[in-house]
Structure 1
Amino acid sequence: MESAATFFQEATVKGGGSPLTGRNGLGSPDYQFRNTKKKVPLDELLKQIQEMADLPLEESKTLPAETYTSEEFLDWEIENVLGGGWMCLAHQSQIPKPGDFINMDIMGEPMIVVHGKDGEFRVLSRVCPHRAMDIMPPGFGYDGHGPAEARDGKSDCGHTRIFLCPYHHWSFELDGKMKGGPEMHKAKNFCRQDVGLKTYRSEVWQGFIFVNISGDAEPLAEQYQELKKDVQGWQMEDMDVVIAKSWDCPFNWKVLVENFMEGYHHMGAHCKTLQPLMPARDTWTDGEHSHSVRVNLPYRDSVPTTGDSDFEAIPTLDPEHYRQMAVFLGQPTFLLFTAPDRVFWYRIEPISADRSRLLTTCMVPKKAKEDPKYDEKMEEAEKMLVDFHLEDMEVCTAVQRGFYAKGYQRGRLSHLEMPLWLIHRYYAARARGTYPTFDRPAAPSQAPS
Structure 2
Amino acid sequence: MSSESNPTLSAVKAGGWGGTTSAAVAGEEARVLRGCAENARLQEQARAGLRKAREVESLDALLAEVRRIAALPLEKSETLPKEVYTSDEFFAWEVDEVFSKEWFCVAHVSQIPENGDFINLDLSGDPLVVVRDKSGTVRVLSRACPHRGMDIMPPGFGHDGHGPAVRRESSPACGSTRLFLCPYHSWTFELDGRLKACPEMQQAEGFERDDWGLKEFRAEVWQGFVFVNLDGNAPSSVAEQYAELGEHVSKWNTAGMEIVVAREWDVPCNWKVLTENFMESYHHAGAHAKTLQTIMPAKHTWTEQERPHFIRCHLPYKAKVRDEIADAEAAGGHWEAFPAVEGLEGEDRFEWGLMLGYPLFTFVLTPDQLVWYRILPTGPDSLKLLTTVLVPKSTIGHPDFGKMLDRATAEAVAFHLEDMEVVAAVQRSLHASGYQRGRLSHLEMPIWLMQRYLAARARGTWPGLDHPPAPSQR
1:11/1:81 CA distance change after superposition, 3 Å: farther
Separation of aligned partners in 2, 1:140 and 1:159: 18
What is residue 415 of structure 2 aligned with on the other side? 388
Separation of aligned partners in 1, 2:95 and 2:375: 14
1:242/1:124 CA distance change after superposition, 3 Å: same
> 3-state DSSP class of the match of 2:292?
coil
Separation of aligned partners in 1, 2:81 and 2:160: 48
What is residue 82 of structure 1 aligned with on the other side? 99
Q: Give the C-alpha shift of residue 227 in structure 1.
A: 1.0
Structure 2 counterpart of 1:419, one-letter code: P
1:143/1:125 CA distance change after superposition, 3 Å: closer
Separation of aligned partners in 1, 2:380 and 2:258: 32
Q: Give the C-alpha shift of residue 150 in structure 1.
A: 0.6
Separation of aligned partners in 1, 2:89 and 2:372: 29
Separation of aligned partners in 2, 1:80 and 1:414: 29
Separation of aligned partners in 2, 1:42 and 1:143: 39
> 3-state DSSP class of the match of 2:219?
strand
Query: Structure 1 residue aligned with 2:264, among 233, 236, 246?
Result: 246
Say whether the 8 Å CA contact 1:140–1:155 is kept in structure 2.
Answer: no
Query: Structure 2 residue aligned with 1:221, among 220, 239, 242?
Result: 239
Q: Give the C-alpha shift of residue 28 in structure 1.
A: 5.5
Q: Confirm or deny that 1:93 pairs with 2:110.
A: yes
Separation of aligned partners in 1, 2:420 and 2:302: 24
What is residue 173 of structure 1 aligned with on the other side? 190
> 3-state DSSP class of the match of 2:105?
strand
Structure 2 counterpart of 1:120, one-letter code: T
Q: Confirm or deny that 1:161 pairs with 2:178.
A: yes
Separation of aligned partners in 1, 2:76 and 2:275: 22
Separation of aligned partners in 1, 2:276 and 2:136: 36
Say whether the 8 Å CA contact 1:105–1:111 is kept in structure 2.
Answer: yes
Matches within 5 A, 1:114-153: 114-138=131-155, 141-142=158-159, 145-153=162-170
What is residue 442 of structure 1 aligned with on the other side? 469
1:333/1:7 CA distance change after superposition, 3 Å: farther
Query: Structure 2 residue aligned with 1:256, among 246, 269, 274?
Result: 274
What is residue 27 of structure 1 aligned with on the other side? 40
Separation of aligned partners in 2, 1:143 and 1:313: 39
What is residue 298 of structure 2 aligned with on the other side? 280
Separation of aligned partners in 2, 1:30 and 1:354: 9
Separation of aligned partners in 1, 2:153 and 2:242: 32
Q: Give the C-alpha shift of residue 76 in structure 1.
A: 0.5
Q: Which runs of 4+ in 1 moved over 6 A?
A: 5-8
What is residue 57 of structure 2 aligned with on the other side? 40
1:365/1:138 CA distance change after superposition, 3 Å: same
1:75/1:184 CA distance change after superposition, 3 Å: same
Separation of aligned partners in 1, 2:135 and 2:397: 30
Structure 2 counterpart of 1:101, one-letter code: F
**Worse-matched range after superposition: 334-343 or 275-284:** 334-343
What is residue 395 of structure 2 aligned with on the other side? 368
Number of aligned residues: 438
Q: Give the C-alpha shift of residue 375 in structure 1.
A: 0.5
Question: Structure 1, unaligned stretches of length 5 or more?
Answer: none
Q: Confirm or deny that 1:431 pairs with 2:458.
A: yes
1:69/1:368 CA distance change after superposition, 3 Å: same
1:19/1:262 CA distance change after superposition, 3 Å: closer
Separation of aligned partners in 2, 1:404 and 1:8: 27
What is residue 183 of structure 1 aligned with on the other side? 200
Superposed CA offset, 1:74-117 (max 9, x none): 01011111111111110000010000000011111000000111
Structure 2 counterpart of 1:395, one-letter code: V
Separation of aligned partners in 2, 1:208 and 1:346: 12
Q: Give the C-alpha shift of residue 312 in structure 1.
A: 2.5
1:8/1:190 CA distance change after superposition, 3 Å: farther
What is residue 446 of structure 2 aligned with on the other side? 419
> 3-state DSSP class of the match of 1:27?
helix
Structure 2 counterpart of 1:226, one-letter code: E
Measured on the aligned residues, the alpha-carbon RMSD in Å equals: 2.2
Matches within 5 A, 1:270-349: 270-303=288-321, 304-305=324-325, 307-349=334-376
What is residue 102 of structure 1 aligned with on the other side? 119
Q: Give the C-alpha shift of residue 152 in structure 1.
A: 3.7
**Worse-matched range after superposition: 317-326 or 43-52:** 317-326
Q: Confirm or deny that 1:354 pairs with 2:372.
A: no
Superposed CA offset, 1:227-255 (max 9, x none): 11122101100000000000000010110
Superposed CA offset, 1:304-341 (max 9, x none): 22545532222333421101111100000011111111
Q: Give the C-alpha shift of residue 207 in structure 1.
A: 0.2
- Write 1 or 2 for the structure with the bigger share of helix: 2
Q: Give the C-alpha shift of residue 190 in structure 1.
A: 1.4
Separation of aligned partners in 1, 2:157 and 2:193: 17
TM-score computed with the length of structure 1 as normaliser: 0.93
Q: Give the C-alpha shift of residue 11 in structure 1.
A: 7.8
Q: Give the C-alpha shift of residue 27 in structure 1.
A: 2.9
Q: Give the C-alpha shift of residue 384 in structure 1.
A: 0.8
Separation of aligned partners in 2, 1:137 and 1:143: 6
Superposed CA offset, 1:379-436 (max 9, x none): 0110111110111000001110111111111111000000000011000000011011
Question: Structure 2, unaligned stretches of length 5 or more?
Answer: 1-5, 7-24, 329-333
**Worse-matched range after superposition: 260-269 or 299-308:** 299-308
Separation of aligned partners in 2, 1:275 and 1:86: 33
Say whether the 8 Å CA contact 1:233–1:318 is kept in structure 2.
Answer: no
